[in-house]
Structure 1
Amino acid sequence: MAGRDRSARDDRTSGATPRRTGSAAARERGTGGGRPAGNRRPQAATGRPEGPAVPPASTDGLIVGEPPRTARVAGALLVLAGVAGAAALFPLYLVVGSQELTLGRGVGGVLVGLVVPLTSVAVGAGLAAGRVPRFGLAYAGVGGVLALGSLLIEVYRGSSSTVRPGIEVLAGERVLTSSVATGAGWWLQVLALGLTVLAGGCAAAAWGRTLMEDRGALDPARPGLAGGAVLLGVLTVLCLALPAADVPDRLVADPATGMEVVVEQQGPQALLERPGLALLGGLLLAGAVLVGAVLAPSLRPRLAAVGGLLALTVTVLAAGLTGLRDAVASPDLEWTVPGAGLLVAGAAYGLLTVLAWRLRRTPAP
């Protein structure tokens, strides 16, 4: 017994490590029944393992159902309208007097003339494929109402503008409508506007039967968007009432006194000064701009408001760019303040469209 006591004292004094069980030693080495140390994940402050970063989920909450067949028909009509509008730029448009006119004269004329057709083709293709259907339906609905007034004005130009001959600006040229003969370009333009009106009718019929909703991310900003859109609508109507490109006044020297006198030249008629179908079309166009400005920001979901504002953007922007093209292409015309106002209004509508598109997320709950 004394020998065993001496042996124990020798072990304590020599610093020998006491033996551990097999499972405890294995856990310490990381090779036993527990997880190997090299495969362990570091613990976060909350005690949960840190894994790979997970991208945050979208909070837009967009729900899209299967669109009805009428919605797809509206998309197909938009595509056809865009193709017809683009094709109308190249053949003969009108023969006014002895002057032949083409809508797509020059590179500038083609680029300006493609603004609305290309947008219609892009939006219509998505709607026909069933993607975000209320976006396309809103574009088709607002665009169809706007196209109705333009259709009546176009019919007046090609059929009854000779009843009351006057100076007009057509396809960038200052002409006297003493006689008018239509060409293939005019027929294609009428076809494009008519198809756009039909697409708007189909969109109105399919709207209530199309399922597309979100969590209302745009709702807090809708009053501001609506106020800005209405102000721009009023500005657009005021600018449409006067020509975007007009004939400048001339300075003529009086031979008797030697003083220069301002002589007014007859320019194109204002939108609301034309008779018959042109007057009705102008009133419908002005009313459609105001109605679209009020309606578009209130459409649900958010992408539907984007679609309605996009239709206003391309229509107003195309009108402003057409006036600028006419003033640049013809030495007899100059750009007017209403023409510049249309361009500013179109750019501002584009800004509202971008804002409505970007405001798409709400704070995560």
Structure 2
Amino acid sequence: MVARDGSTRDRSTRSGGQTARPSARRTGPLRRPSEPAPAVPADGLVVGDPPPTARLAGVLLVLAGVVGAAGLFPTYLVIGGTEVPQSAGAGSLLAGLVVPLTALAVGGGLAAGRVPRFGLAFASIGGALAVGLLLIELYRASTSTVRPGIEVIAGQRVLTSAVDVGPGWVLGAVALGLTVLAGVLTVTAWGRTVMEDAGSLDPARPALAGAAVLLGVGSVLCLVLPAADVPDRIVTDPTTGLQVVVEQEGPQGLLERPGLALLGGLLLAGAIVLCSVLAPSLRPRLAAVGALLAIAVVVLSAGLTGLRDAAVSDELEWTLPGVGLLLAGVGYVVLTVLAWRLRPSPAR
């Protein structure tokens, strides 16, 4: 009995030792250091796969940018037998490339599926603004001869008595049409696009909206009057020596033109104010950035065009509304940068 008990104790001891060794191997060498958790964006940005209509809107923006940039080089219009190009120098080319290059960059990102609501917001606001611009272009090429008037196109003061369409105008009109079509597609793609953040911009949205509305109203007031105008002439009477101020006919204002131009001017003015109210409220934060960027490039391009017209022509001078329009464009750029930068610092 003693031997049996001893052998039993030995077997139990050996079996206990055998069960202890595997447990030591499982708790020792098999333990691995914990891996660091994946980094989460500071503003909690969540991006889903965009729908095909969103990518198609991005492709249309890319095409609009390419076509719009190509339209700067050939003849824009032939007015009274005079060919009028849109890019007469480096300044003209810079003013004309602001909108196409921005549309090309944003559209490329949207077509690739990166931060889709940023591109969709840019396309929707840009499409709304392009409707009025397209109607103004249609007026210039078709019905501007019904009531001839003085116009300033690419720094040249011309009388619209006879107007022929050039390839530059055709490409520019196609680019505006593609922009409008991209804006229409965003209406169907917006609700099906997943992109949200933690609301880091929410505390600053009221201030951004107030500043954007002020800039929108100021931009419309500046657009009503020409950005570059013909200065008044002082004539001295040789017999009496009296000096008389003689007003010269200058370019027509945004709301002084009839027909399609008047409708386009009203739509453009209303779209600038309405989009300025809407843009800061879009979610997520990058959607507000895209919307403000779309307004900024249109207003800035208009301001640079007025400065270009006054710089390349000896008959024109830069007006106070032209200065205000350029400052409004810079102000929109500042708001866009603020909306982009107002976010919490990355968590350590």
Matching residue within 228, 238, 244 for 1:245: 228
Aligned to 2:316: 333
1:68 maps onto 2:51 in alignment: yes
Aligned to 1:159: 142
Aligned to 1:193: 176
Question: 1:94 is matched by which residue type in structure 2?
Answer: L
Aligned equivalents of 1:246, 1:145: Cα separation in 2 = 28
In the TM superposition, what are the counterparts of 1:264-303 in structure 2 within 5 Å? 264-303=247-286
Aligned equivalents of 1:331, 1:296: Cα separation in 2 = 39
Identity, % of aligned pairs?
Answer: 71
CA shift, 1:294, in A, is: 0.5
Q: Is the CA contact (8 Å cut-off) linking 1:58 and 1:361 kept in structure 2?
A: no
CA 1:363–1:136 in structure 2 vs 1: closer, same or farther (change >3 Å)?
closer
Question: 1:129 is matched by which residue type in structure 2?
Answer: A
Q: Is the CA contact (8 Å cut-off) linking 2:41 and 2:346 kept in structure 1?
A: no
Cα deviations by residue, 1:20-61 (Å, 9 ceiling, x for unpaired): xxxxxxxxxxxxxxxxxxxxxxxxxxxxxxxxx999853210
Aligned equivalents of 2:237, 2:83: Cα separation in 1 = 37
Aligned equivalents of 2:175, 2:339: Cα separation in 1 = 28
In the TM superposition, what are the counterparts of 1:249-268 in structure 2 within 5 Å? 249-268=232-251
Q: Is the CA contact (8 Å cut-off) linking 1:113 and 1:318 kept in structure 2?
A: yes
Question: 1:329 is matched by which residue type in structure 2?
Answer: V
1:86 maps onto 2:72 in alignment: no
Aligned equivalents of 1:300, 1:54: Cα separation in 2 = 27
Aligned to 1:128: 111
Aligned to 1:48: none
Aligned equivalents of 2:237, 2:37: Cα separation in 1 = 82
CA shift, 1:107, in A, is: 1.1
Question: 2:111 is matched by which residue type in structure 1?
Answer: A
Aligned to 2:9: none
Aligned equivalents of 1:106, 1:59: Cα separation in 2 = 44
Question: 2:246 is matched by which residue type in structure 1?
Answer: V
CA shift, 1:364, in A, is: 6.1
1:105 maps onto 2:107 in alignment: no
SS in 1 for 2:75: coil
Cα deviations by residue, 1:98-125 (Å, 9 ceiling, x for unpaired): 2110011111111111000000000000
Give the length in aligned residue pairs: 314
Aligned equivalents of 2:79, 2:42: Cα separation in 1 = 57
Aligned to 2:128: 145
Compare CA radii of gyration and give the structure with the larger one. 1
CA shift, 1:231, in A, is: 0.4
CA 1:208–1:54 in structure 2 vs 1: closer, same or farther (change >3 Å)?
closer
Matching residue within 234, 237, 250 for 2:217: 234
Q: Is the CA contact (8 Å cut-off) linking 2:73 and 2:168 kept in structure 1?
A: yes
Aligned equivalents of 1:223, 1:55: Cα separation in 2 = 34
Matching residue within 323, 335, 356 for 2:306: 323
1:307 maps onto 2:290 in alignment: yes
The TM-score with structure 2 as length reference comes to 0.88
Aligned equivalents of 2:152, 2:37: Cα separation in 1 = 60
Cα deviations by residue, 1:228-274 (Å, 9 ceiling, x for unpaired): 00000000000000000000101111123112211000001111010
Aligned equivalents of 1:352, 1:267: Cα separation in 2 = 34
The TM-score with structure 1 as length reference comes to 0.84
Unaligned runs of 5+ in 2: 1-35
Aligned to 2:154: 171
What RMSD in Å do the two structures reach over aligned CA positions? 1.7
